[in-house]
Amino acid sequence: MADEIRLAIIGCGRILPAHLRGLKALRDAGYDGFRITALVARKLDDALMFRRRGEGPEPRPPASVNPGDPLGAPHTWVSDVHDGEVGVYDDLDAMLAEAPVDAAVILTTHPVHHTIAIKCLQAGKHVAVEKPMAMTVLAARRMVEAAEQAGRVISVLESARYGIGNRAAEWAMQTGLIGDPKLLMSIAVGLREWGPDKILGHTPWRHDRLGAGGVAVDFGVHLTTWARKLAGEFATVSALTDILEPTRREYAADGTVLDEITADAEDTFFAHATFESGAIGEFGFSSATHGEGVGLEGGRAVYGSRGCIKGDEVVLDDGTRGSLTEAFAEQAPADLKARWFPLGLEDRFGLEHHDFLHAIETGGQPEMSGEEGLRDLAPAIAFLESAHAGRTVNVAEVESGALSAYQDELNAHWGVT
């Protein structure tokens, strides 16, 4: 392998600017052990849109106007990250045969994560894949098996795992700051731009159950990766899902309807959960509401045996209260901060790529390994399996494949065996 790890980016859609921004932050922090050598898209123009500043079609506007949302990241070109030649391809097989590539970064829509990942692994490439890892547990398992057979690294790009707020909460639970976990809550209904005709209107693949699935998995894995680090493994899930807004529209700036789509992917879920630790959880999300959103203060809350965390505020039984991230900055040991935030980097996309690249360099496993991504995926899929079955389900039966009734149609449609 070359001194620099040569990356092919497969999928040049609306999430790519956040990844390029993160890779630029990684380089700016002093890590130059990689180079992007290929861009792959279904249309060459989509790849050319990202290759070099001043070249290619006019960039698409961000899907979000919220700068804190990855879909609101400003357009970034590979030439902003580093100099050098970058091949563009509209054929995956041609890229794998011709391009100088050591590893693939898969940013396509969810249903083809497994097929592209397995093909790249079989071609001897390491693989990093956007969350959710796959559409079904079986597809994710096949990806893990392919990586093991090829002797290559597979990593899941779950940026939430690396965020400062989530890390601070993880540290708080590790140190017993608020005691043993008792109750986790995350409720967000119609917040910011997650209404039926906002971000969803700009990303129409989210409307199609077979095409990409709905919010239970797409958003759910952000919740499960957070919850698992605070309360341990999920035990059971009891959930309901619904399609509250079956017709979705994309509007032009002047209010003209550009497209109207009938959706069959859920836009709402609510789930009760138990954890092996004895904690319980309450999770909900909806992108289908009108008027004004509602949610928990700070988005999430964790209650322990000695206090609680509400967003970034920690409140203890002795009356102590303050910023959790400030407490982490002041009290967490230097070696932990160096491990979680190498090079002083805090861009969570830069951190997830560092995790992947460092694993390749050292011959180890990334924190967000394929197995870890599968364990994030299983409880999110369990939301859907529970709603489909109309009963409480054990997450272990979903992870093992013993329960797959909701997923069976997806597996058959996408040829997962």
pLDDT at 321 over 80: yes
Band the pLDDT of 1: cuts 50, 70, 90: very low
Q: What is the pLDDT of residues 267-285, one digit of tens each?
A: 999 999 999 999 999 999 9
Query: For a pLDDT cut of 90, what percent of the chain falls above it?
Result: 81
**CATH of the domain spanning 5-160+346-369:** 3.40.50.720
The residue ranking higher by pLDDT, 208 or 27, is: 27
pLDDT at 352 over 60: yes
pLDDT at 319 over 80: yes
Q: What is the pLDDT of residues 356-376, one digit of tens each?
A: 999 999 999 999 999 999 999
Q: Please check whether the two domains, 5-160+346-369 and 163-336, share a CATH topology.
A: no
Q: Give, for 376, the enclosing helix (H) or strand (E).
A: helix 370-389
Q: What is the mean pLDDT of the chain?
A: 93
pLDDT at 68: 79
**Residues 289, 395: Cα–Cα separation, whole Å:** 29
Dig out the tokens for 276 from the structure. 């092996």
Using an 8 Å Cβ cutoff, are 197 and 287 in contact?
no
Domain boundaries, the chain: 5-160+346-369, 163-336
Single-letter amino acid code for the residue at 10? I
Q: What is the pLDDT of residues 393-412, one digit of tens each?
A: 999 999 999 999 999 999 99
What is the DSSP secondary-structure string of 282-327?
EEEEES---S--EEEEEEEEEEESSEEEETTEEEETTS-EEEHHHH
Level-2 CATH architecture, domain 163-336: 2-Layer Sandwich (3.30)
pLDDT at 289: 80
Band the pLDDT of 261: cuts 50, 70, 90: confident
112-127 in b/e form (b: 16+ CB < 10 A) is bbbbbbbbbbebebbb
Q: What is the pLDDT of residues 226-240, one digit of tens each?
A: 999 999 999 999 999
